[in-house]
Amino acid sequence: MAQVTVTIDGKAYRMACEEGQEDHLTDLATRFDRYVGHLKSQFGEIGDLRITVMAGIMIMDEISELTRRVASLETELETLRGNRDTVLAATARTEESVAAAIAEVTGHIRGITDKLNGRAPSELN
């Protein structure tokens, strides 16, 4: 297990983390320290615990908003996938209809060609 020292509000905290996660933990602590610093600049010295709680609530608010947005995007993605499947099915049916119409027109053209060439319809192909 790796050890990292992070600084939040000017105080050093020694923390353990998984090997290879040191930079990530340092980044998280730095970002949290920014929240604490922002709140201190707005409210002054109102106590470490209160500042920490306020920063935690701000972060949870952001997580809540991001969770809501992700859920909305997942719903939109499922709708788009459903629409895509409907369009693909309709396209396949249209392609089949067009193929059948082309085959029918081709048969009529062959019949006309046979008549123009003086061949009986039974001599097709």
As a whole number of angstroms, the longest Cα–Cα distance in the chain is: 105
Residue 119 inside a domain? The answer is: no
Residue 80 sits in which domain range? 2-96
What is the pLDDT, as a whole number, of residue 60?
A: 95
d(CA 48, CA 107): 87
The stretch 37-49 carries a mean pLDDT of 89
For the entire predicted model, the pTM comes to 0.59
What is the pLDDT, as a whole number, of residue 29?
A: 96
From residue 31, give the alpha-carbon distance in Å to each of 8, 21, 41, 90, 121. 9, 15, 15, 50, 83
| 76-118 residue pLDDT tens | 999 999 999 888 888 888 888 888 889 999 988 988 888 888 8
Overall number of domains in the chain: 1
| pLDDT greater than 70 at residue 43 | yes
| 2-31 residue pLDDT tens | 999 999 999 999 999 999 999 999 999 999
Residue 110 inside a domain? The answer is: no
Q: Quick one: which of 53, 22, 25 has its CA closest to 39? A: 53
